[in-house]
Structure 1
Amino acid sequence: MKANSETIKKRYDRIAPYFEVFEAIVEGLFFKKWRKKLWERVEGYHILEVGVGTGKNFAYYPGYARITAIDFSPGMLQQAAIQKERKKVVVDLELMDVQSLYFADNSFDTVIATFVFCSVPMPLKGLKELHRVCKPGGQVLLLEHVLSSKPPIAWLMKRLNPLVLRLFGANIDRNTVKNVKACPFVSVRVDEESGDMLKLIEARKW
């Protein structure tokens, strides 16, 4: 089953008020430390965060940077706006789809996304947009859950994917590393400490 942007957007709008609760356990046990590690690699002044969601990365924003954060779900963006005011975060929030960014070519020093490309209907198109808006010499940093390389687990993930997609709007069978390597980046590196189903990806543009 494939879902288009509008269908997935509605699913995220529906779960937005409860999203923090849904992911609280896995966030505390696994994702939090990897978010911190990812944001420690940010370079430059002008940063774009794609898929800001409810603002889970706000705590890791570097104080020196100018940050623009986007999401295609009005419901998620509303939650991010609430967190922005509550935590006094300096960020420009924009409603936008990663598959069709409004920004000019070569706009950002670092483009960053965490657990986003599981939900993008056309991930390769979205990744090419990240490459386009990234400045020459800049970087794209991704933290993504991906399809396991272990055949039995991969088989199960593929079987469960239609249900997960229907309920939450996310795919659990994506090969995001392969998709990033299919884009015109000069180099793509995966953190060696990344696990089988969690990947920290660093892509460079010349």
Structure 2
Amino acid sequence: MSNAPRPDGVERLDWQENKREVFDTIAARYDKEIDWDEFLMGMKLLRWWLMRKAKGDTLEVSAGTGRNLPFYPRSALRSLTVTDVSIPMLQQAQSKFSPLQATFHSSEPNTTDPKQPHPLPTRFVPASAASLPAPSASFDTVVQSFGLCSQADPVRALQEIQRVCKPDGTILLLEHGRSHYAWLDDLLDRTAMSHADKWGCWYNRDVADILNRSGLEVIEMGRWHFGTTWWVVAKPGKGVTTK
């Protein structure tokens, strides 16, 4: 029997709430350390496939170093707001987006000069996923990738995502967690503590349970990598509120 923490990381909530220090520490080297792993796992393809569904006023939550930013459609967004709890991570994301910004154009018509595309309004805002600084029903698309693993209360985070998404909007998730196989889940459980200490990430959480408890209305869902990687297209559930 494994002595690893429960998949939701309840035993270490205090640590999880202080995870910002972990992310601040690894921000500068994060991309370099995971680039090869993501290449081998085909993550760029998954990010591209999911991000191309974004449109309108778009919010990315728990954006980290901005690994999704190159894959957003160039002219389908009306605006882009990028958030993360870690300022160093967010600075990495902003640096990554800066050379790309001229290639993005807002879907909003340019009333000043109709012949010229409207520059994409873009904001980078330090914010916790559990308390987003935005009015309810603000965004057409809300994106999160590999965020549920690093949040103290992932159910609340998903409910907050639903709060800021328009009722007819789209929620795009790319997450990782428990697999299709008991032997792999046991391995994840046995290594979860050391992985969380290094990366600020509980990669053994039960994504299906989190989705169910959040009240999210799943439209499409698929799993890769023995079931550990989840992609989800969803919309806000009816009557979901944050406490």
How far is the alpha carbon of 1:194 from its aligned partner? 7.1
Alignment partner of 1:131: what SS?
helix
Q: Distance in 2 between matches of 1:204 and 1:88?
A: 28
Q: 67, 74, 95: which is aligned to 2:87?
A: 74
TM-score, length-scaled by structure 2:
0.78
Counterpart of 2:44 in structure 1 is: 32
- Bigger radius of gyration: 2
Contact 1:187 1:203 in 2 (8 A): yes
Counterpart of 2:27 in structure 1 is: 16
Alignment partner of 2:130: what SS?
helix
Contact 1:50 1:71 in 2 (8 A): yes
Cα RMSD, aligned residues only: 1.8
Counterpart of 2:5 in structure 1 is: none
Contact 1:69 1:94 in 2 (8 A): yes
How far is the alpha carbon of 1:135 from its aligned partner? 0.3
Give the unaligned 5+ runs of structure 1.
none
Q: Distance in 2 between matches of 1:167 and 1:192?
A: 25
Counterpart of 2:111 in structure 1 is: none
Contact 1:180 1:188 in 2 (8 A): no
Matches within 5 A, 1:60-139: 60-64=71-75, 65=77, 66-88=79-101, 90=120, 91-139=122-170
Give the unaligned 5+ runs of structure 2.
1-10, 103-119, 239-243
Q: Which amino acid aligns with 2:98?
A: E
Contact 2:149 2:202 in 1 (8 A): yes
**Fraction of identical pairs, as percent:** 27
Q: Which amino acid aligns with 1:31?
A: M
Counterpart of 1:155 in structure 2 is: 186
Counterpart of 1:203 in structure 2 is: 234
Q: Which amino acid aligns with 1:125?
A: R
Structure 1 pair 136–160 and aligned structure 2 pair: CA distance change class (3 A) = same
* 1:75-125 deviation per Cα after TM superposition (whole angstroms, max 9, x unaligned): 101111222223336521000000111111111111111111110111001
Counterpart of 1:57 in structure 2 is: 68
Asked if residue 41 in structure 1 is aligned to residue 45 in structure 2, the reply is: no
Q: Distance in 2 between matches of 1:186 and 1:166?
A: 32
The count of corresponding residues between Structure 1 and Structure 2 is 205
How far is the alpha carbon of 1:202 from its aligned partner? 1.4
Contact 1:194 1:200 in 2 (8 A): no
Structure 1 pair 151–194 and aligned structure 2 pair: CA distance change class (3 A) = closer
